[in-house]
């Protein structure tokens, strides 16, 4: 292109020279020639104008090609994003569907255990005549609390006796003879004319029971299948979800009732065969999932509306759960995101086409701009950094979910397992007591895991605040040693206390967080020190500057230690040393991260030294302001009041929590008057005579009127005891700001759930005693 242009230029200059030779001045010659050339350009165009036309044509073609390429890329991007978002939504939806299935599994599991309990109760029944069997079965039904159903007993000749008094021959004899210990089936009881489908749980008796020459071989529990309905959250998916329990061929066994109509056919597969499957596979794949009892998700078009449908199998049965949710409910946010993303991508593509067109025009005109290349390079680096950050976030999320899944499922498995063992050994008091103690231990571990996650979340969000309250440092140390001593029961590990005399034990600080720090460190020492080892706990006062004392605490163990390369990461969230002996000890990896954050918030320092297979030493140093009050001012006047015979108003909307509170209080001889929400508590108190109640236990989060509003309303009443009656918060809102809100609303004290009985009765004794003696 350059050679051609030069050749034309030389030819053009050469054409003017003969004019000058004819005697015309060169200026006029150039002028005439120039006018001539312009006319020629108009008539036929010059090589220069032709070159420019070619460049413009190439630029237009290039821009058009780029526009087509951008449109194709946008379409590909749309399909890719649509598929990716479906995969993401589908994964979440399958997980939610599995949880829905878990609800049904819990119901099935509950009644399976109930059938086992029915077996135990039937074995203990004193049956001498067959006429007594229905009455005994009715007593078992009442004992099990089965309202919508009957209890059945079957003999070796397939004759059954029902708790409703019916005695007949059983048609489904194959169910009794297949040898299964426990089995479930959904069916209508042919001797009842109510057209109600029941879930029948049949349990083979361990030992047949002989009554008047007949041997009872099986016990059955038939429950109205509508019990599934009661287990569902009515607000699930904005009450627009449709849940079906089906057999392997797609026949409907149960349908979760919600607003709006949906598939009414008793065979869902016959309806789904006419639907368009958009994502996830075909109707044959769905049918295969039902047959193979596997989980999967699809996006379908049903009556001109898009739905997500997921299939999950119900454990220990041949049933499956089909969950349908409109896409506008489940995927509204992602659809809006996809549309916005396509809008931005289209705009960016148009901008890129324009920029590329200009760049190509510049290149064709030999005016390339290196800044565009540099900008593109920087853009690529930013995109790479963004991709790396996204990958790192995904890895962190995956690690977190992996840790939480393992650590939360472990105690839950223990709780469920011990519950099952206890139910099967109701007559063995020692075994049942052992199971209950293990359930209590697993529950405490589960609570500590939840607390760790919540503490870390609050620390990262900046919501954790350090209090400045009077405390006795020696007593705090004593309590920590007592807690750790409980963990050492049954272990051959010696705890050596090397505690120097503290000149200023009474200080101002945050006892709760300091105790959590010490228990975290001491708990790790217990966990990682094998039997035969020692744990040294040292504390000393380093000195005083003005009104602030500085303390040093050391926790040293002869445990398994840590590798040098792991030490710099010990205070990072989810950090856990891999390999070696430490693979035996797994946790969330949050404990030391929380410890470091709390120490920093308290203005202290923490360091660690460790050698593999030798031991570990943690050193804490922190300043604490000395409490300048006199000792007699610091001693709290705790009155131990006899609570038996007192009367308390208990406001609690959760029936299970209310039942627990009533049992704990009534066990001490306290009369309990329950209220299911704040408004009811206000009404009951307003209608009572002054002095009728000795105190009020108030939950905070309740329907109709919450506990804070109810407290304010009670304090505002025009009656003598409204301002003085002790009102104590008993709530799961356990943080400092929750406690402050309760006190600001007019409550006297705050007791956090799960309730510690000793703490609760100390608080009640103190405040009720103060009112009585005042």
Distance (Å, whole) CA 570 – CA 564: 11
CA Rg value for the chain:
39
Alpha-carbon separation of residue 67 from 211, 368, 526 (angstroms): 89, 21, 68
Q: Is the dihedral of CA 133, 138, 143, 148 positive or negative?
A: positive
E strand intervals along 182-275: 182-188, 197-211, 214-224, 242-246, 252-255
Long-range contacts of 711-717 (CB under 8 A, 24+ apart): 711/742, 711/745, 711/746, 711/747, 712/745, 712/746, 713/678, 713/682, 714/681, 714/682, 714/685, 714/746, 715/746, 717/685, 717/686
Reading the block at residue 154, the tokens are 């079957």
Distance (Å, whole) CA 259 – CA 237: 11
State which H helix or E strand residue 728 sits in. Answer: strand 727-731
Alpha-carbon separation of residue 260 from 240, 268, 270, 274, 305 (angstroms): 8, 17, 21, 21, 14
Quick one: 306 exposed, middle or buried, by C-beta within 10 A (0-12, 13-18, 19+)? middle
> Taking the C-alpha atoms of 387, 393, 394 and 399 in order, what is their torsion angle to the nearest 10 degrees?
150
E strand intervals along 510-613: 534-545, 548-557, 605-611
Q: What is the structure's pLDDT at 549?
A: 93
Kindly report the three-state secondary structure assignment for every residue of 139-165. Answer: HHHHHHCCCCEEEEEEECCCEEEECCC
Q: Nearest CA to 602 among 628, 621, 589, 617? A: 621
Q: Is the peptide bond before 734 cis (omega within 30 degrees of 0)?
A: no
State which H helix or E strand residue 701 sits in. Answer: none
Write down the pTM of the prediction.
Answer: 0.40
563 in Cβ contact with 580 (< 8 Å): yes
Distance (Å, whole) CA 15 – CA 570: 86
* DSSP-based three-state secondary structure for 544: strand
Tell me how crowded residue 17 is: count the other CB atoms within 10 A of its CB: 10
The tokens 């050679």 sit on which residue? 3
438 in Cβ contact with 421 (< 8 Å): no
764 in Cβ contact with 643 (< 8 Å): yes
First to last CA, the chain: 107
DSSP letters for 467-511: --EEEEHHHHHHHHHHHHHHHTTT---EEEEEEPPPS--EEEE-H
224 in Cβ contact with 189 (< 8 Å): no
E strand intervals along 268-337: 276-279, 296-302, 305-313, 320-326
Distance (Å, whole) CA 290 – CA 297: 12
DSSP-derived secondary structure letter, 524: H
Distance (Å, whole) CA 482 – CA 489: 11
513 in Cβ contact with 520 (< 8 Å): no
Q: What is the pLDDT of residues 699-745, one digit of tens each?
A: 998 999 999 999 999 999 999 899 999 999 988 766 667 788 899 99
Averaged pLDDT in 10-residue chunks for the chain of 774 residues: 40 38 39 44 51 66 74 71 68 76 83 88 87 90 87 90 89 80 78 80 89 90 82 64 86 76 83 88 89 87 87 84 81 58 66 67 57 73 78 64 63 78 86 82 66 63 71 87 81 90 88 85 90 93 90 93 85 64 51 85 91 92 85 47 87 89 91 94 94 93 93 93 92 73 90 80 82 54
**What phi and psi, each to the nearest 5 degrees, are found at residue 473?**
-60, -40
The tokens 């840590």 sit on which residue? 562
Distance (Å, whole) CA 28 – CA 457: 87
Q: Is the peptide bond before 754 cis (omega within 30 degrees of 0)?
A: yes
**Cα angle, residue 686 at apex, residues 680 and 689 outer, rounded to 5°:** 130
Tell me how crowded residue 187 is: count the other CB atoms within 10 A of its CB: 14
| Bridge partner list, 539 | 499, 553
Alpha-carbon separation of residue 173 from 154, 162, 371 (angstroms): 10, 16, 86
**Cα angle, residue 454 at apex, residues 449 and 456 outer, rounded to 5°:** 95
Residue 556's region, left for phi above 0, alpha for psi from -120 to 50, else beta, is beta
Q: Nearest CA to 708 among 734, 679, 684? A: 679
Q: What is the structure's pLDDT at 270?
A: 87
Distance (Å, whole) CA 517 – CA 312: 44
Distance (Å, whole) CA 378 – CA 370: 13
Distance (Å, whole) CA 364 – CA 258: 66
DSSP-derived secondary structure letter, 428: -
């Amino acid at each position: 292109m350059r050679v051609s242009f030069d050749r034309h230029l030389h030819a053009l200059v050469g054409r003017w020279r003969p004019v000058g030779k004819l005697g015309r001045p060169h200026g006029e010659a150039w002028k005439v020639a120039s006018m001539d050339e312009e006319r020629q350009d108009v008539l036929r165009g010059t090589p220069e104008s032709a070159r420019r036309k070619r460049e413009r044509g190439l630029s237009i073609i290039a821009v058009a090609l780029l526009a087509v390429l951008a449109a194709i890329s946008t379409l590909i991007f749309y399909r890719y994003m649509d598929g990716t978002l479906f995969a993401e939504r589908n994964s979440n939806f399958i997980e939610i569907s599995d949880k829905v299935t878990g609800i049904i599994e819990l119901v099935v599991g509950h009644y399976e255990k109930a059938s086992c309990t029915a077996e135990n109760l039937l074995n203990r029944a004193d049956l001498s005549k067959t006429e007594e069997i229905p009455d005994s079965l009715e007593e078992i039904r009442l004992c099990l609390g089965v309202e919508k159903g009957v209890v059945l007993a079957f003999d070796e000749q397939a004759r059954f006796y029902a708790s409703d008094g019916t005695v007949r021959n059983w048609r489904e004899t194959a169910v009794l003879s297949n040898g299964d210990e426990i089995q479930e089936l959904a069916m209508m009881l042919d001797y009842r004319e109510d057209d109600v489908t029941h879930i029948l749980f049949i349990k083979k008796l361990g030992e047949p029971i002989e009554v008047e020459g007949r041997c009872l071989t099986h016990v059955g529990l038939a429950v109205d299948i509508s019990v599934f309905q009661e287990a569902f959250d009515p607000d699930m998916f904005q009450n627009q979800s449709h849940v079906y329990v089906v057999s392997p061929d797609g026949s409907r066994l149960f349908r979760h009732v919600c607003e709006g109509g949906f598939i009414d056919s008793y065979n869902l597969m016959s309806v789904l065969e006419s639907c368009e499957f958009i994502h996830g596979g075909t109707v044959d794949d769905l049918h295969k999932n039902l047959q193979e009892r596997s989980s999967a998700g699809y996006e379908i078009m049903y009556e001109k509306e898009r739905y997500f449908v997921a299939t999950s199998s119900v454990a220990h049965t041949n049933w499956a759960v089909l969950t349908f949710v409109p896409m506008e409910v489940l995927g509204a946010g992602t659809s809006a995101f996809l549309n916005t993303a396509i809008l931005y991508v289209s705009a960016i593509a148009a901008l890129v086409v324009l920029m590329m067109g200009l760049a190509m025009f510049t290149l064709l005109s030999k005016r390339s701009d290196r800044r565009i290349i540099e900008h593109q390079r920087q853009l690529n680096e930013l995109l790479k950094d963004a991709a790396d950050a996204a990958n790192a976030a995904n890895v962190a999320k995956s690690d977190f979910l992996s840790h939480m899944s393992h650590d939360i499922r472990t105690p839950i498995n223990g709780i469920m397992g011990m519950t099952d063992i206890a139910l099967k050994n109701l007559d063995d008091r020692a075994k049942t007591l052992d199971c209950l103690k293990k359930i209590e231990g697993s529950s405490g571990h589960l609570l500590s895991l939840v607390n760790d996650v919540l503490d870390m979340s609050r620390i990262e969000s900046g919501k954790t605040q350090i209090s400045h309250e009077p405390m006795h440092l020696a007593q705090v140390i004593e309590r920590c040693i007592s807690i750790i001593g409980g963990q050492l029961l049954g272990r051959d590990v010696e705890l050596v206390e090397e505690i120097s005399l503290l000149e200023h034990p009474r200080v101002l600080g945050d006892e709760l967080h300091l105790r959590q720090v010490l228990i975290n460190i001491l708990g790790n020492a217990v966990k990682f020190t094998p039997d035969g080892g020692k744990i040294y706990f040292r504390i000393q006062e380093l000195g005083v500057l003005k009104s602030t004392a500085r303390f040093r605490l050391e926790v040293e163990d002869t445990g398994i230690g840590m590798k040098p390369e792991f030490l710099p990461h010990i205070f990072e969230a989810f950090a856990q040393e891999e390999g070696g002996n430490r693979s035996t000890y797994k946790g969330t990896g949050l404990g030391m991260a929380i410890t470091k954050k709390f120490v920093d918030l308290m203005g202290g320092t923490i360091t660690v030294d460790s050698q593999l297979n030798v031991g570990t030493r943690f050193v804490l140093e922190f300043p604490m302001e000395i409490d300048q009050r006199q000792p007699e001012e610091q001693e709290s006047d705790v009155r131990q009041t006899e609570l038996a015979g007192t009367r308390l108003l208990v406001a609690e909307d959760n029936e299970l929590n209310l039942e627990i509170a009533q049992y704990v209080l009534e066990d001490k001889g306290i009369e309990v008057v329950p209220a299911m929400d704040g408004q009811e508590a206000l009404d009951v108190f307003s209608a009572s005579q002054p002095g009728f109640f000795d105190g009020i236990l108030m939950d905070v989060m309740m329907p109709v009127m919450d506990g804070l509003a109810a407290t304010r309303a009670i304090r505002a009443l025009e009656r003598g005891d409204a301002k003085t009656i002790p009102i104590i918060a008993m709530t799961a809102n356990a943080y400092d700001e929750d406690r402050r809100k309760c006190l600001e609303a007019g409550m006297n004290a705050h007791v956090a759930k799960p309730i510690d009985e000793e703490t609760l009765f100390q608080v009640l004794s103190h405040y009720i005693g103060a009112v009585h003696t005042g």
